[in-house]
Chains A and B, each alone.
Chain A
């Protein structure tokens, strides 16, 4: 059965999605050369998820403004959101050029008040409750609008996230679609090794009354289909299995790339890899 609330697109063009994601990774890589540090690995691991939400799931009003809402709960991954907002014309090239500088308005975490940013995040464990409140407001007004949010897997360790998980299903937030960017990495190593009881994730969300599906988080079509084919009477959790640093081989699953910017040589190698993926 199709979800009661439809997505924007009826069909999904995988090739277009692949090219967009390659372009976004390249743009983030270029911006990395302006600053000493940005969460490049965290942005690369959720690139396909955020791309799919913005380009295939979120619906627009007649005037082109977004009807549905995107909230980046894992604020440290917001480079992918910035480059998408730039392409959509919501942020400007000048905004991205001035990233993390005194003349700019964009920092390492998304700030409420910046164009296209609906909530200030960065401290983990805040986004899902806010998304739940937003979903309730939309339900109260019977708008049929959907709230999309992306969580990091480390963020799912926060007790506050589980409060929100309990509340969203207890309050029947059927207009809430969340994804966990399950790259299995935190600052101090692999979550599956440091916190084995963290898994299995899927069962935990289901036990709390969510509709939950696991997909390959770099398979854009799988993400699109899982969300659009949800049953839709409960909040929906996409457990997206991802690779931290996805797209640049030397970054993949190497914790230092949670934060570091590549040096010149590393940058050139990354460019080669991303261009070869065309």
Chain B
């Protein structure tokens, strides 16, 4: 996904001389080096200085430019939090804060590199928008939208590398509207980001048991498509939320809130990261499983096995 992001940003930058990227000492993946070679004056590496990364983006935006701040998600959002809040959100500037490798993707680097609370944190700030694409194709649409939108700040939560294509044949990507990757009548899985791959695999398992399953990419996490969520809750007997985020402040509690408000009658199960730090190492899947997020565990919880 990061290579896709870099390539799309490079394309947008070749069309728009106001696009800048401000990175914090992150190794130049994919087209990022092409960007830095082609437009060196618009490729700024602040080094390990994330507060200035956000402040410089704010200054560029105050002068009408369209900057992207880019580094590993923990460092793009947590470290410079007050700059994100005051400089970007309070002033409502069209800056994209890219959180790369969000969730527990950095699965061997330990808890300091896990981004488990970013949706809650970014989503709590007024004016902030959150987009979390599920595959390279969605990342393309989202990045293009970020480069062209004028609403205000965006937190763009992306994965790292190797995400499969999941959206082929799906409805067009529209900011603020959830998107059916497959449509069914019985069960609906709401999800976003890299873990959508797991949701698709779970859907296959359910389908093999004769269930008709929808899988929905809630790529715009803020503002949430409440109407779309209501339609999903009303149109299926069983709704499942799967997200790579702590239980607080993400899609799961928001879906429950909407369900309560509309007196939803469907069954609703939520699967999230746990509300604690883990000290495990291994693959991304290993860490998700340590948090209770695996096909087997979810299948067991919903009574599939």
Contact = CB atoms under 8 A, between A and B. Distances in A.
Contact of A126 (B17, B63, B65, B86): B86
Given A112-B91, A166-B49, A126 B62 contact: no
Contacts of B44: 136, 171
A6 interface: no
Interface stretch (B50-58, B151-159, B174-182, B209-217): B50-58
Interface in A66-115: 112
Contacts, number: 97
B51 A133 contact: no
Nearest to B51: A160
A58 interface: no
B261 interface: no
A163 B59 contact: no
A contact patch SS: helix
The number of chain B residues touching the other chain, given as a range, is 20 to 34
Nearest to A136: B60
Contacts of A134: 59-60, 62-63
Interface string B255-299: 000000000000000000000000000000000000000000000
B82 A130 contact: no
A3 interface: no
Interface in B35-57: 41-42, 44, 46-47, 49, 51-52, 54-57
A133 B57 contact: yes
B59 A130 contact: yes
Interface in A114-163: 118-120, 123, 125-126, 128-140, 159-160, 163
A130 B86 CA distance: 11
A130 B87 contact: yes
B60 A163 contact: no
A133 B83 contact: no
B64 interface: yes
Interface string B55-75: 111111111110100000000
Given A120-B90, A126-B55, A137 B49 contact: no
Contact of A166 (B47, B58, B91): B47
Interface of B: 17, 20, 41-42, 44, 46-47, 49, 51-52, 54-65, 67, 82-83, 86-87, 90-91
Interface of A: 112, 118-120, 123, 125-126, 128-140, 159-160, 163-164, 166-167, 171
A-B residue pairs, 8 tightest by C-beta: A133-B59, A129-B55, A137-B63, A163-B52, A163-B49, A133-B56, A160-B51, A130-B59
